[in-house]
Structure 1
Amino acid sequence: MTETQHLDFTATCPKGLESLLAKELNELGASVTREQPAAIHFSGTLEVAYRACLWSRLANRILLQLSREKIADAEDLYRAVAAQPWEAHINPNGKLWVQFSGTNREIRNSQFGAQKAKDAIVDRLRQQSGSRPLVERDNPDLAVVLRLHRDHLDISIDLSGESLHRRGYRTHIGAAPLKENLAAALLLRCGWPEIAARGGALLDPMCGSGTILIEGAMMAADCAPGLLRESFGFERWLNHQSDIWLGLREEALARRAAGLERELPEIRGYDADAKVLFAAEANISRAGLERQVRVSCRPVAAFKIPSHRPVKTGLVLTNPPYGERLGEQEALRDTYAELGRQLKQEFPGWLVGIFTGNPELGFSTGLRSHKQYQLYNGSIPSQLLLFQVREQVGEASAKESRPLSEEAQMVANRLRKNMRTTGKWARKNGIDCYRLYDADLPEYAAAVDIYRSLEGAVYAHLQEYRPPAKIEEDKARGRLRDLVRAVREVLEIPQGNISIKERRRLSHKGGGSKPSQYQKQGGAQGERSFWVNEYGAELEVDLWTYLDSGIFLDHRPVRQYVRRLADGKKFLNLFCYTGTATVQAALGGASQSTSVDMSKTYQAWAARNFRRNQLDPYRHQLVEADCLQWLASAQQNRRGHYDLIFLDPPSFSNSAKMRGVLDVQRDHADLIRQCMALLAPGGILVFSNNLRSFKMDGEVLEEYSVQNLSAELLDRDFQRNPKIHNVWRIEARS
């Protein structure tokens, strides 16, 4: 290959960047011949290809096309690949890697295609030299890329090595990293090079690990994005022309040095998470941009134009979180709204770009987008929303106070009615945590629980039931938004005090809520807990981290019943969860207690509840164990008897920590008998479960004195759902 020979190349890129990449390649001296989804075909000299590898801010890979062949089957594939002069591209003792994509009627598996192509290359090299290359994915001397579309096979060499978006500066990333070439595309769509040339600033109020800022600084300083990479694929290629490459590197180094000597515009990022800023600072340092890019810890509510340097205008560009779960998305609306308020107040005249996988959240800023670009963040369809900030006096408050929709108003009316009835009943009875709404309107299938902290703050726990399959997802999301807005208006609480979860029915027979109580949720809020009062007991509640809150509200009267029975008793609590029943028993006068659960997390939670209520740890013991094994051991070791036992197993459990599988319908008779064997004369077993279809075993009914207390121990706030739990008092027959 000569220096002036024109060759055919393909540049690949993320979907949505094709037109930008075509423009960039033309500016780098390429002759663009064709665009297709996620790829640009161009021609040029080898120097043009090297320049593209070094300077392209948008491409993933630069491929040198060797041939395009028409093939029908595997034998055609083998012959077409074997016909290429591979000895001119790789040393027979080198390292080879083959990538194959696409299928046709005969070649239906890409792995098979790759194997066939690899055999063809290896066989040819063995015939030519008597040696064969190693097949190795990491750092190969030659990476061959084959793409089959219908009956046409493109045979190419990857000149890039690893993807060009990997610049080499980002060794630390945040929780949801934005790829470097996508960040560059966002900046180009916003017109950042022109803004920077006029002296405008670049600010990112939620900068994460700093990718947008670094890419913006590299553009403003004329830094080639490939300069920090350790290597390119073409450097181990037999046709590599190192003199051309070294000349291009020297030119790029000189341009970078000159660019960094200039005074660049203000480029600054902020984030409320101090930990992620450590990653940003490390990446900025590795990129050699410590003097050009600065970051500091600041929440969105404090986002303002930097005061240390006069900045009149510029670009605000950010990629905020947008949440994967419905609850997270709703909780983020306040963040976007706060960003909108700060932009209107502090940044009139600025251009704003918000890149999000949830455009609805973008519009929660209260700003009107004048342009949108459809892009992809990995496989997630996303939009870049552009806003020109203007003085909008009074608009934000008007938007925030806009009336509820007709549908949301209907839900709000029901909530108000329930506040007048259930809420009044709760206040009269000193109940701070109760169910306000439980799918009262069938179209809005969710439960809303109210929690009032010891400090008086009100929180809402909204658990959306899975909508029927016939309900479209968009409609379900709309109904959820209606319900959240209605809750906010009626309760007059901020969005941050509302926890939203989608509670899914379990697929096993008789699945209730208890089997998944230990399932960690995470979510946008992170871990937050507070203390509530229940009949004088102070109990810890967390509405965000796990599926359940730490207190089963429907069991409130059951705990009160246990408390009334506990005076002077030795108490056993099996499947104790966070120990709330034990706290009530102890406050009711239990002389000592044992509380058993296999979850380390919930044993720690129970311990906090015990300490808060000043329970003596020597008299009230916590045992981390599988309750089934603990019961079996108690029988064998003839442990001391208990006066009162509370048995509240999950409906079903196959936890890896358990020796077997627990099915409460199948196993309850054995569990009851084992507990009855541990009761002292005159002792009482309170047996509870949440299996709606539960039926008490007939032999148990004959063997013991059994009283069904389910209806009696159901408070007003759960009477819409009388099958929510079963409660039985069981004693030995006299």
Structure 2
Amino acid sequence: MYTPEKSANTPLEWFVSCAKGLEPVLAAEIQSLGGENTREVVAGVYAEAPQVFGLRMVLWSRVANRVIRLLGEFPVKTADELYEQLVQQDWQAWIRPNQSMSVDFHGTNDFLRNTQFSAQKVKDAIVDRLSTTLGARPNVDRKSPDIRFNCHLKPQGLSIGIDYGDGSLHWRGYRTRSGAAPLKETLAAAILMRAGWPKLVEEQGALVDPMCGTGTLLIEGAMMAADIAPGLRRKRCGFERLPDFIPEQWRILKSEAEKRAAAGKQRLQDIEIRGYDADARAVRAAEENIEALGLSDYVRVSVKPLAKLAKPTHRPLNKGLVVCNPPYGERLGEAAALRYLYNQLGERASREFAGWELAVLAGEVAQSKAVGLRSHKQYVLYNGALPVHLALFSLTDDNRWKDLGAAQQNSHQTEENVASGIEVSEGTLTAGGQMFLNRIRKNRKRLKGWLKQTQTQCYRLYDADMPEYSVAVDVYDGKLHLAEYQAPKHVDEDAAIARLEDAIHALCVEFNVAPSQISVKQRRRQRGQSQYEKHSSQGQKHVVREGKAKLLVNLQDYLDTGLFLDHRPMRTRIAAEAKGKRFLNLFCYTGTASIHAALGGAKRTVSVDLSNTYTAWYRENLALNGLAEATNAIVRSDVSAWLGTTKERFDLILLDPPSFSNSKKTDQSFDVQRDQVSLVQAAMAVLEPSGVLYFSNNRRGFKLDDTLAEAYEVRDISAQTLDPDFERNPKIHQAWMLRHRGS
């Protein structure tokens, strides 16, 4: 076993550990700090260097986990061999009886299967040796020992050394609070190195993190730019209690580091470092962490959702790095929703930061691909035991962003699609088909000006205009959705099928599409949850736009698509009124109104629905628009039960219940005609005195109870909530605006 050397310049053997995947980065860092003869292994690097190298590594390493000064290797297999080998060594050369010690043990074999037991055997050997030679023994202190021994059991035997940092070097001394899934400082530094941040610093490039959390990437980036040593604030170092420690040597190293940091902070004035996050609590924690390091004048963070990400404009920023660690684990988000979040990140970065670099950490390759840009480099790294993928992108003109929804082409025919794959021309239409085609053309001409003026992409083109053709035809950004109403009993089934085929063929002619490209379903007026039941399992969603919102629709799997077109004016109204308000969406369905409210500037939105399917869908819509759940809460609950327990109050409420519900998830059935009074009263109870409640439903023949008109200020706004595509069917829904009396 090695003993303390007399000469400070004598080469020693070292092992420096790191997260898997960072070995090349660490090796380069070791060489820059004086290490020689480096040898990379999994999760670490061996090196040779004099004693001062260990001090430099603890002070300056940005990616190392632990710096171990190796004392020796011993061929051991069993517990007895482990004890016998170590009890013979001169431990009195390294530790005195009045000092405390701790043993970290890693690795197992067929005989030593429990690391805690193995650590105990090492401790016993050291203590027994000291008791024999010095007549006294050191104490064990697992939290703050004077000497921390590090043991690693390998196939060839046991390696033992002393931990120079007295614990993991990821601790920088500035973190006051961490987020739900903190990124280790060492991994954050490695991400920035891989992404080329040190070179951009030389070119006075900028650094932006659009989902900064508690600010780890920003702070590590600022420390690099300002040449601040990561270990400068470290309170304890393992080498300070060693017999060959030279205090003056450490004082000089720290003094030099402090001077470099002071000079480096001045350079930060020319480098823009910005962070944003939708979670105000995370931003406050980031501010505290930045302040703890004295960087508040140089690193700025603010509350902003991804949807509003833009390049700072107060000075020219022609080059820089957008770096981001979005949520990628199951604990933080749904996998389906995260694809849209990554895609939104790619869109905003491509649009706002042309000419910059983009670095994205993802839980899996599929997420980095969902960014929608071509990656020129990818690395597999480890955040603890979790493998993660770092993808690098150049935001150049030839690297065009791709919409995730547009890439999902509907190439399959649903189970309800009864159209054949034959080619159709106008000359092959029946007389009925030609009549249907003429009405479609007439409606398109009538709606053309309104569609262009309002830039409406999703609309109803036909709704049983002619009794013989009882279907609804909707257009979703160029994609066709045809829903057949159930024919009356007196209508011959073969005749109904023939008319449906007439309608499909006419649409093929008008829109120049194949029959298989039209989503066809049979719509029946049924009670309860039938409108929400699944009809297919293709799982394909398409992105459509409505105003500022991007929304996901599913044209195959459900009778309804996830977007009620007739409520478009209501959503537009809510978007216009939501700025600065707290918005509540009851029976939120896929959350489309909440998306409009959030993009309209709502201070907070809360969306309540009992369906797992639709709350998950809403989560995807949030991610698609770069909106965070921190300010847009999703509550899966029975609405009536939730209203009876919530303590929150709201300025704007949308109450749009189903006509009927007999969900298996509740003991009570629901009938909007029967239960309207209690439901509206419960909603009004959480409405602020000056607030507005919008109440609507699609129940044919619904009558508003006189009790409500007596208790509140009520105005029927049904006519104002119908756009030109639904003017022929004014009974499609009813809507009222309610206020507290005297408001």
TM-score w.r.t. structure 2 length?
A: 0.62
1:168-179 matches, within 5 Å, as: 168-179=173-184
Structure 2 counterpart of 1:437: 534
| 1:416–1:167 distance in 2 versus 1, CA, 3 Å | same
Quote the offset at 1:400 in angstroms.
4.4
**Identical columns (%):** 38
CA distance in 1 between partners of 2:685 and 2:259 (Å): 71
1:13 to 18, 22, 28: 18
**Mapping 1:43-58, distance limit 5 Å:** 43-58=48-63
Given candidates 396, 400, 408, the residue that maps to 1:390 is 396
Instruction: Write the letter of the residue equivalent to 1:528.
Output: I
Question: Is 1:283 aligned to residue 289 of structure 2?
Answer: yes
Structure 2: which amino acid aligns with 1:322?
Answer: Y
Q: Helix, strand or coil: the match of 1:349?
A: coil
Q: Does 1:89 align with 2:105?
A: no
1:265 aligns with 2:271: yes
Select the residue among 216, 232, 236 that pairs with 2:241.
Answer: 236
- Taking the TM superposition and a 5 Å limit, the aligned residue runs for 1:177-256 are 177-256=182-261
Task: Give the CA deviation at 1:539.
Answer: 9.3
Task: Report the more deviating stretch, 27-36 or 184-193.
Answer: 27-36
Encode CA deviations 1:404-457: one digit per residue, 9 max, x unaligned: 2545x547959999954689987745868732315668999x986968899667
The equivalent residue for 1:527 is 633
Candidates 366, 369, 385, aligned match of 1:363: 369
Deviation at 1:327, TM superposition (A): 7.1
CA gap of 1:276–1:449, structure 2 versus 1, over 3 A, is farther
Amino acid at match of 2:661: R
Alignment of 1:371-386 (within 5 A): 371-386=377-392
Query: Residue 145 in 1 paired to residue 150 in 2?
Result: yes
Match in the other structure for 1:312:
318
Q: Tell me the CA shift for residue 383 of structure 1.
A: 1.0
**In the superposition, relative to structure 1, how do residues 417 and 399 fare at CA in structure 2: closer, same or farther (>3 Å)?**
closer
Q: Which runs of 5+ in 1 are unaligned?
A: 463-483, 500-521, 543-549, 560-576, 590-606, 616-734
CA distance in 2, matches of 1:124, 1:168: 36
What's the counterpart of residue 611 of structure 1? 682
8 Å Cα contact 2:660/2:671 also seen in 1: no
Shift of 1:235: 1.7
1:401–1:276 CA distance, 2 compared to 1 (3 A): same
Corresponding residue SS for 1:26: helix
Aligned-partner Cα distance in 1 for 2:293–2:361: 23
Matched, 1:120 2:125: yes
Is 1:556 matched up with 2:635? no
Give CA deviations for 1:521-570 in whole Å, capped at 9, x if unaligned. Answer: x989963359999xxx999799xxxxxxx9999993599xxxxxxxxxxx
Instruction: Tell whether 2:633 aligns with 1:496.
Output: no
Tell me if structure 1 keeps the 8 A contact 2:340–2:623. Answer: no
- Distance in 2, Cα, partners of 1:332 & 1:284: 28
Would the alpha carbon gap of residues 247 and 70 (structure 1) be closer, same or farther in structure 2, given more than 3 Å must change?
Answer: same
- Structure 1's 303 and 420: CA in aligned 2 closer, same or farther, altered over 3 A? same
Q: CA deviation at 1:238?
A: 3.2
Q: Which amino acid aligns with 2:621?
A: G
Deviates more, 1:168-177 or 1:236-245: 236-245
Give the residue type in structure 1 aligned to 2:252.
G
CA separation of 1:396/1:121 partners in 2, compared to 1, >3 Å: closer, same or farther?
closer
Query: Could you give the per-residue CA deviations for residues 101-121 of structure 1, whole angstroms, max 9, x where no partner exists?
Result: 222333232222111111101
Aligned-partner Cα distance in 1 for 2:528–2:644:
15
> How do 1:565-576 and structure 2 match up within 5 A?
none
Q: Is the 1:99–1:143 contact (alpha carbons within 8 Å) kept by the matching residues of 2?
A: yes
**Aligned partners of 1:583 and 1:610 also within 8 Å:** no
| Secondary structure at the counterpart of residue 98 of structure 2 | coil
The answer for the alignment partner of 2:112 in structure 1 is: 107
Supply the AA of the counterpart residue of 1:270.
Y
- What does residue range 480-519 of structure 1 map to in structure 2 within 5 Å? 495-496=620-621
Structure 2 stretches of 5 or more lacking a match? 419-478, 487-519, 542-555, 572-586, 592-612, 646-654, 687-743
Given the alignment, which residue of 159, 164, 175 partners 2:169? 164
Q: CA deviation at 1:19?
A: 0.5
1:323 positional shift: 4.2
CA distance in 2, matches of 1:612, 1:87: 76
Cα deviations by residue, 1:12-41 (Å, 9 ceiling, x for unpaired):
000000010000000001114321100111
Seen in structure 2, the aligned counterparts of structure 1 residues 104 and 389 have a Cα distance that, compared at 3 Å, is same
TM superposition shift of 1:611: 2.1
Q: CA deviation at 1:377?
A: 1.5
The farther-off stretch of 410-419 and 181-190 is 410-419
Change (3 A) 1:396 1:186: closer
Q: Distance in 1 between matches of 2:629 and 2:297?
A: 36
* C-alpha distance in structure 2 between counterparts of 1:65 and 1:212, whole Å: 32
CA deviations 1:632-652 (Å, max 9, x no partner) are xxxxxxxxxxxxxxxxxxxxx
Structure 1 residues 524, 432: closer, same or farther in 2, change over 3 A? farther
Partner of 1:324: 330
The match for 2:103 is 98
Counterpart of 1:60, as a letter, is: N
Secondary structure of the residue aligned to 1:401 is helix
**Mapped partners of 2:11, 2:675: distance in 1:** 87
Q: How many Å apart are 1:79 and its aligned residue?
A: 2.1
The letter of the residue matching 1:257 is A
- SS of residue matched to 1:434: helix
| Match runs of 1:526-675 below 5 Å | 527-528=633-634, 556=661, 580-581=668-669, 587=675, 611-612=682-683
TM-score, with length taken from structure 1? 0.63
AA at the equivalent of 2:280: A
Contact 1:53-1:160 within 8 A present in 2 as well:
yes
In 1: Cα distance, 2:683 partner to 2:271 partner: 54
| Aligned equivalent of 1:652 | none
What secondary structure sits across from 1:284 in the alignment? Answer: helix
SS in structure 2 of the partner of residue 87 of structure 1: helix
Structure 1 pair 349–442 and aligned structure 2 pair: CA distance change class (3 A)? closer
Displacement, 1:358? 2.6
Q: Check if 1:351 corresponds to 2:357.
A: yes
> Which residue of structure 2 lines up, in the alignment, with residue 472 of structure 1?
none
Write the distance in 1 (CA, Å) between the matches of 2:177 and 2:236: 20
Seen in structure 2, the aligned counterparts of structure 1 residues 498 and 88 have a Cα distance that, compared at 3 Å, is closer
Distance in 2 (alpha carbons) for counterparts of 1:399 and 1:310: 31
- Report SS of the residue matched to 2:661: helix
